[in-house]
């Protein structure tokens, strides 16, 4: 999905383009940015990045995370306005961090209550962690494989 139509060209950091959800909402990208800000050597070390975030002592890191959560909340609201789902689940490695679900819920609530028409039009969905956390994508891929190879057992 396109989040910023002015940023759809590929870049070195974002082959898809930073204006697409894959560019804007990359968990790996968030971790890299946090580790760059804190000058940590291993830019892909998510544990160090989240320790820094949980410490709450670096305002730039906090602002970066809040912006990330805001973008996820915007995406959820955009989907909600079209599909009207009751629940959104967050998977992947980042979902192991309780701070992420809390941050996305807070950002959604902030958006939801910013505009009276939104609160009157949309039902607030539940935003929660996926049951299989980091393995969610693997189960989804397996299910798709099974649907295409033995559809009679899964349809």
Domains contained in the chain, CATH given = 21-154 (3.30.420.40)
- 42-70 mean pLDDT: 95
* 70 pLDDT more than 80: yes
With 90 as the cut, is the pLDDT of residue 153 above it? no
In this structure, what token pair is assigned to residue 148? 């295409």
Query: Where residue 94 falls among pLDDT bands split at 50, 70, 90?
Result: confident
* CB contact at 8 A, 127 and 72: no
E strand or H helix that includes residue 1:
none
Quote the pTM value: 0.85
**Proportion of the chain above pLDDT 70, given as a percent:** 98
Question: For all residues of the chain together, what is the average pLDDT?
Answer: 90
Q: What is the pLDDT of residues 56-65, one digit of tens each?
A: 999 999 999 9
Bridge partners of residue 133, in order along the sequence: none
Tokens at 104, concatenated: 């996305």
């Amino acid at each position: 999905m396109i989040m910023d139509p002015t940023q759809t060209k590929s870049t070195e950091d974002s082959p898809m383009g930073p204006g697409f959800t894959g560019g804007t909402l990359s968990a790996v990208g968030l971790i890299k940015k946090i580790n760059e800000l804190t000058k940590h050597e291993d830019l892909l070390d998510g544990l160090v990045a989240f320790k820094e975030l949980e410490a709450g002592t670096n305002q730039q890191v906090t602002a970066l995370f809040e912006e990330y959560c805001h973008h996820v909340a915007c995406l959820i609201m955009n989907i909600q306005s079209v599909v009207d789902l009751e629940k959104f689940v967050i998977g992947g490695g980042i979902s192991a961090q309780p701070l992420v679900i809390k941050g996305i819920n807070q950002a959604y609530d902030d958006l939801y209550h910013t505009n009276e028409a939104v609160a009157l039009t949309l039902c607030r969905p539940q935003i929660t962690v996926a049951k299989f956390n980091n393995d969610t994508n693997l189960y989804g891929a397996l299910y798709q494989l099974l649907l295409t190879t033995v559809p009679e057992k899964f349809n």
